[in-house]
Structure 1
Amino acid sequence: MTEIAWDDFMKVELRVGRVLSAGPFPQARKPAYVLEVDFGPEIGVRRSSAQITALYRPDELVGRLVVGVVNFPRKQIGPLMSECLVTGFHDSEGRVALCVPDRDVPPGTRLL
């Protein structure tokens, strides 16, 4: 494992966001949803593609808190311009489980 300095970690803007909408992304190469996530007044609403279809349905994602990287450059994914990276972990079967706060915190709160 490569060690990083604290300053390296501080460059990554990991923020809490609330999912406003989630829907199918049929143009994606792997099964995915398009998410709209509200990261609070400072950052606003961002769109992302998320390969989380194995463990989540769109209707159960709306209103949930997620953790996202908001300072990556935008990335074109098929017809979608992804504006953030919603974080998660692969389980033993390779399915993605979302990284989420265990308490209600305001959208935009930075992970430290």
Structure 2
Amino acid sequence: MSSSVGGTGLIAWSDFEKVEFRVGRIIAASEFPEARKPAYLLQVDFGPAIGVRKSSAQVTALYRPEQLVGRLVVAVLNFPPKQIGPVMSECLVTGFHDAEGRVALCVPDGEVPLGTRLL
């Protein structure tokens, strides 16, 4: 058995459990001209127990701001806040690069309650 998958080392289950992936709904999306790479500034609602968090997302090649509002996304909530230009990003919205290098959002396949944790 190989000790790596896709060029990265294997991790223990306990390492995976440390990453807090949760579902949120984008409630606002706007242009973010201050970002070094093209990005939108998102506000993502993770439900009443967590609230709304800000994030910068480099998804401008595949989405317009109005297409993002209302969409469910998967985000990492337990990274430390990160200063991106004038904004403090409070979560990392996840995505995958397509064959052309554009970022496609990682999304649930159906409706799930806001704040639900990926297990």
Is TM > 0.5 for Structure 1 vs Structure 2? yes
Report the CA distance between 1:15 and its aligned residue: 0.1
Alpha-carbon displacement from aligned partner over 1:25-81 (angstroms, at most 9, x marks no partner): 000111100000001122110000000000001001000000000000000001010
| Counterpart for residue 74 of structure 1 | 81
Work out which of the residue numbers 29, 36, 40 in structure 2 matches 1:29. 36
Aligned residues: 112
C-alpha distance in 2 between matches for 1:10 and 1:44: 22
Aligned equivalent of 1:9 = 16
* TM-score, normalised via structure 1 length: 0.98
In structure 2, give the amino acid aligned to 1:18. Answer: R
Q: Normalization by structure 2: what TM-score?
A: 0.93
Map residues 1-112 of structure 1 onto 2, 5 A cutoff. Answer: 1-112=8-119
* Identity among equivalent pairs (%): 76
Higher alpha-carbon Rg: 2
SS in 1 for 2:9: coil
- Paired residue type of 1:81: M
Partner of 2:3: none
Show structure 1 runs of 4+ deviating over 3 A: none
Structure 2: runs of 5+ lacking an equivalent: 1-7
